Amino acid sequence: MSILVDENTRLVVQGITGRDGSFHTKRMREYGTKVVAGVTPGKGGEVVEGIPVFNTVREAVEKTGANTSVIFVPYKFAVDALYEAGDAGVELIVCIAEGIPTLDMVKVVRFLSDRGVKLIGPNCPGVISPGKCEVGILPGHIFKPGQIGVISRSGTLTYEIATHIVDAGLGISTCIGVGGDPIIGLKFIDCLELFEEDEQTKGVVLVGEIGGQDEEEAARYYQEHCHKPVVAFIAGLTAPPGKRMGHAGAIISGGAGTAKGKMEAFESVGIRVAKEPAEVGILMKASLK
């Protein structure tokens, strides 16, 4: 099995006629993802890579049975795109767009939660269940099918971690790039719960970074609810306080959110912490024995 996306995912691409949307639509379809529709207001009736384009997400859902949306529109249109997708009946939204104002995302997350719609992102690389489905910008060729779930706040570091997992002789059930903004949809805790329930997943790799309290909350949740082994890596060990490192959420403030504090929180509940990315696969393989 896998979580969130699989062979039954029917994808609608919001912003399909744009540069990024059309490029990644082709990539996702070549990987095997069932891309059934695209949406660009005012361009309904066009065809991109053999895929029909609609004016609205609701029309795309009604005509094609799409159950998942990926958002490639510019940030100034992304909030409206999120509301539209959430109101159209899809079950999952993957928002690649970055730069969305935090206060807007607070409202969007509540809106989607009230409707039972899962959100990955914003400012994320997406989600992949290797060999089944890829939604977003993840490089599918580096992910091999297997039994390790991956949850990551990072972008390109996710790709490196995945490579080390595969090099260790393991594979990946599903990899989720949750995004690095202060306000996101699915968090570490949500993903840990899904992986804990997934029979295929035998262990989880959690890739965190400085800033916020998501890792500390995940450590407490793990102690109370999880039984599968978890290996963690925290990016930003040498980051100076008060400096933003890459993501909007990756900032140490008032002594909270440090890499050292997150590592200690994990270790205190029995989660093994890799000191460098290359150790992740080794530690996970040892944890499964």
Structure-model confidence comparison of residues 242 and 266, the more confident one: 266
Omega before 139 within 30 of 0, i.e. cis: no
- The residues facing 136 across adjacent strands are 126
| Contacts of 219 by beta carbon, 8 Å cutoff, 6+ apart | 262, 265, 266, 268, 269, 271
Domain finish residue from 120, 151, 182: 120
Query: Does a structural domain hold residue 128?
Result: no
Strand order through the sheet with 51-54: 47-48, 51-54, 34-39, 10-14, 68-71, 92-95, 118-120
Together in a domain, 84 and 201: no
Together in a domain, 275 and 162: yes
Together in a domain, 19 and 85: yes
Together in a domain, 19 and 109: yes
Residue 254 in this model has a pLDDT that exceeds 50: no
The whole domain housing 200 covers 139-287
Query: Does a structural domain hold residue 156?
Result: yes
Structure-model confidence comparison of residues 282 and 212, the more confident one: 282
Tell me what pLDDT residue 188 has.
97
Measured CA to CA, the distance from residue 180 to residue 192 in angstroms comes to 17
Q: What is the CATH number of the domain that holds 68?
A: 3.40.50.720
Tell me what pLDDT residue 241 has.
58
Query: Does a structural domain hold residue 109?
Result: yes
Domain finish residue from 120, 150, 178: 120
Q: What is the CATH number of the domain that holds 233?
A: 3.40.50.261
Tell me what pLDDT residue 245 has.
54
| Contacts of 83 by beta carbon, 8 Å cutoff, 6+ apart | 108, 111
Query: Does a structural domain hold residue 3?
Result: no
Query: Does a structural domain hold residue 1?
Result: no
Q: What is the mean pLDDT of the chain?
A: 93
Range of weakest confidence among 152-161, 213-222, 231-240: 231-240
Structure-model confidence comparison of residues 120 and 156, the more confident one: 120
Tell me what pLDDT residue 158 has.
94
Catalytic residue numbers read 247
Amino acid at 243: K
Together in a domain, 116 and 153: no
Query: Does a structural domain hold residue 50?
Result: yes
Query: Does a structural domain hold residue 5?
Result: no
53-75 burial by CB neighbour count: b if 16+ within 10 A, else e? bbeebbebbeebebbbbbbbbeb
Domain finish residue from 87, 120, 153: 120
Together in a domain, 113 and 160: no
- How many domains, in total, are found in the chain? 2
Residue 243 in this model has a pLDDT that exceeds 70: no
Together in a domain, 171 and 111: no
| Contacts of 27 by beta carbon, 8 Å cutoff, 6+ apart | 134, 137, 140
For 33-88, how does the pLDDT look when each residue is reduced to its tens digit (9 = 90+)?
999 999 999 999 999 999 999 999 999 999 999 999 999 999 899 999 999 999 99
Together in a domain, 95 and 173: no
Together in a domain, 271 and 202: yes
For 121-148, how does the pLDDT look when each residue is reduced to its tens digit (9 = 90+)?
999 999 999 999 999 999 999 999 999 9
For 90-107, how does the pLDDT look when each residue is reduced to its tens digit (9 = 90+)?
999 999 999 999 999 999
Tell me what pLDDT residue 1 has.
65
To the nearest whole percent, how much of the chain has pLDDT over 90? 86
pTM, to two decimals: 0.93
Together in a domain, 248 and 186: yes
Together in a domain, 143 and 283: yes
In which band, very low, low, confident or very high, does the pLDDT at 217 lie, cut at 50, 70 and 90?
very high
Query: Does a structural domain hold residue 126?
Result: no
Together in a domain, 164 and 73: no
